[in-house]
């Protein structure tokens, strides 16, 4: 995997990344470059669909963009001036080729391809209703629900059918859709998942993050607004806002971990916000120590901010190998643990005898922090103080982030002292929720209408969660006791 966290099994998984090009020669090649820049958002599978004015062409594969879309024969098989692509980490649906996006279907109006970042929190309810009325699903992905809603809508035009479908969804979505008539890009009314727009000459580009625009040499134009649909038909671009305006609630974890630090989100440098988080953490939770050490790579900007604010030296106490992907030694717990050191190793000469402050972005199950603290102690650290650049993760995410069930989140079942004891640290502190908002330039977290979705920290979910409320399974082989619908 491309993830640079030393213990990948104990980390919030990125959601997905999407990238679309309209009006550019060799659009698929641009999409492949853009997806490569978004690889951190999804590392299980990738896909690209192109349109040459007559036919749609699709290539989907398990694994990374590199190795699947860096061959001339693959790109030549994706002709056309319009294309969209997707990198995936499965948050709903199994890990298999049938769930790899973009998903494609032939509708009454012609071909329809969709790439989706996010999670539809009423997808199971919608799926049951659609299956009951005759729809046949080919995947287990929540994204396919969108296609069926468009296909079965009673409205006449495609755009009205699409809007009709969106109005039945709850949860989070950023979408790039391709049709014979043009490309559609949109965000959910709360803007939980990101989507930006850029230009490369006369070519219009949509992407999950600005860094993908940078990589292809495109100019950032603006964000797609929450609840907005942008339609590109040839040289014509129009904007539609079919939803009642709502106060935006973009995902705050984009600033903590998900976005690349060289991206710009909502007008703010992600790197600068992460440094500010570290500085605020130093103000809230100072410690008498000798060194500040980041957990690479996600903890680096916050550690720089902590060091600058505290006046403590910043050092690289954990060294990452750039030449190791998945740990290839698997059998046996002892050997598997040794495999971890192929990726990361303690800088023993620096750490021995020192009181260190370890900076990481989050604690999920706690097994990561336990192993990191153990690594530092084995390297001879005198004291190990853990500082976390986000509030405690106490709640699951239902908006496109693969979070463990709540009972497996360490902060949901342990208080601060119990967490400190569990990871064997000399001290443990998290940034406060108000401190996180201060790092984002606010006075603190507003008690009414906060400007971000922070449900993983607070439990304040900005939408209803229909599927979670209807999670009791139905015995399909029981005798019929009541008639549905």
Closest CA to 262 of 273, 253, 252: 273
- For residues 54 and 46, the answer to whether their CB atoms sit within 8 Å is no
User: Residue 257 carries which DSSP code?
Assistant: I
**CA separation (Å) from 298 to 5, 162, 278, 355, 457?**
7, 38, 12, 22, 19
Note if 397 is an active site residue: no
> Which residue in this structure is represented by tokens 């990561």?
368
Closest CA to 295 of 328, 268, 319, 274: 319
- For residues 65 and 82, the answer to whether their CB atoms sit within 8 Å is no
Residues 72-80: contacts with CB under 8 Å, at least 24 apart: 75/26, 75/28, 75/29, 75/32, 78/28, 78/48, 78/49, 78/50, 79/28, 79/50, 79/52, 80/27, 80/28, 80/50, 80/51, 80/52, 80/53
3-class secondary structure, 225: coil
Distance CA 457, CA 435 (A): 13
3-class secondary structure, 211: helix
User: Residue 478 carries which DSSP code?
Assistant: S
Catalytic residue among 16, 84, 251, 453: 16
DSSP 405-459: PGGG-HHHH--HHHHHHHHT-SEEEE--HHHHHHHTTSSS--SSS-SSB-HHHH-
CA 238 centroid distance within chain:
28
- For residues 226 and 193, the answer to whether their CB atoms sit within 8 Å is no
DSSP 169-207: --EEEEEEEEETTEEEEEE-TT--S--EEEEETTEEEEE
Closest CA to 428 of 366, 477, 346: 366
> Which residue in this structure is represented by tokens 């500010």?
276
Please identify every residue annotated as catalytic. 16
């Amino acid at each position: 995997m491309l993830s640079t966290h030393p213990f990948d099994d104990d980390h919030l998984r990125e959601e997905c990344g999407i990238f679309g090009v309209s009006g550019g020669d060799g659009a698929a090649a641009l999409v492949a470059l853009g997806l490569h820049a978004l690889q951190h958002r999804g590392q299980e599978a990738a896909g690209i669909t192109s349109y040459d004015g007559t036919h749609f062409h699709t290539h989907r594969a398990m694994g990374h963009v590199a190795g699947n879309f860096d061959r001339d024969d693959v790109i030549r098989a994706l002709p056309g001036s319009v294309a969209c692509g997707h990198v995936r980490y499965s948050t709903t649906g199994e890990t298999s080729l049938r769930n790899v996006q973009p998903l494609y279907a032939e509708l009454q109006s012609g071909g329809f391809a969709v790439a989706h970042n996010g999670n539809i929190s009423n997808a199971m309810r919608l799926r049951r209703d659609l299956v009951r009325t005759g729809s046949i699903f080919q995947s287990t992905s929540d994204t396919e629900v969108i296609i069926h809603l468009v296909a079965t809508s009673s409205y006449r035009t495609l755009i009205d059918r699409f809007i009709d479908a969106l109005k039945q969804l709850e949860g989070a979505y950023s979408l790039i859709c391709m049709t014979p008539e043009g490309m559609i890009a949109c965000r959910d009314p709360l803007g939980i998942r990101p989507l930006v727009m850029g230009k490369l000459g006369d070519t219009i580009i949509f992407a999950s993050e600005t860094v993908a625009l940078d990589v292809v040499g495109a100019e950032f134009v603006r964000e797609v607004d929450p609840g907005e649909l942008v339609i590109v038909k040839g040289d014509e671009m129009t904007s539609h806002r079919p939803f009642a305006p709502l106060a935006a609630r973009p995902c705050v974890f984009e600033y903590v971990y998900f976005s690349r630090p060289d991206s710009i989100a909502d007008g703010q440098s992600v790197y600068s916000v992460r440094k500010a988080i570290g500085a605020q953490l130093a103000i809230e939770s100072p410690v008498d120590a000798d060194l500040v050490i980041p957990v690479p790579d996600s903890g680096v900007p916050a550690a720089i901010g902590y060091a600058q604010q505290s006046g403590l030296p910043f050092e690289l106490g954990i060294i990452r190998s750039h030449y190791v992907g998945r740990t290839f030694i698997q059998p046996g717990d002892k050997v598997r643990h040794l495999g971890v050191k192929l990726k990361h190793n303690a800088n023993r000469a620096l750490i021995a005898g020192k009181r260190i402050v370890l900076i990481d972005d989050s604690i999920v199950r706690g097994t990561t922090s336990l192993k990191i603290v153990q690594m530092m102690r084995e390297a001879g650290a005198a004291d190990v103080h853990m500082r976390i650049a986000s509030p405690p993760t106490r709640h699951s995410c239902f908006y496109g982030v693969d979070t463990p069930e709540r009972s497996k989140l360490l902060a949901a079942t342990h208080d601060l002292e119990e967490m400190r004891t569990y990871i064997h640290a000399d001290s443990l502190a998290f940034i406060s929720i108000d401190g996180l908002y201060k790092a984002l330039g606010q006075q603190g977290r507003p008690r009414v209408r906060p400007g971000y979705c922070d449900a993983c920290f607070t439990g304040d979910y900005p939408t209803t969660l229909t599927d979670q409320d209807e999670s009791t399974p139905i015995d399909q082989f029981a005798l019929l006791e009541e008639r549905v619908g």
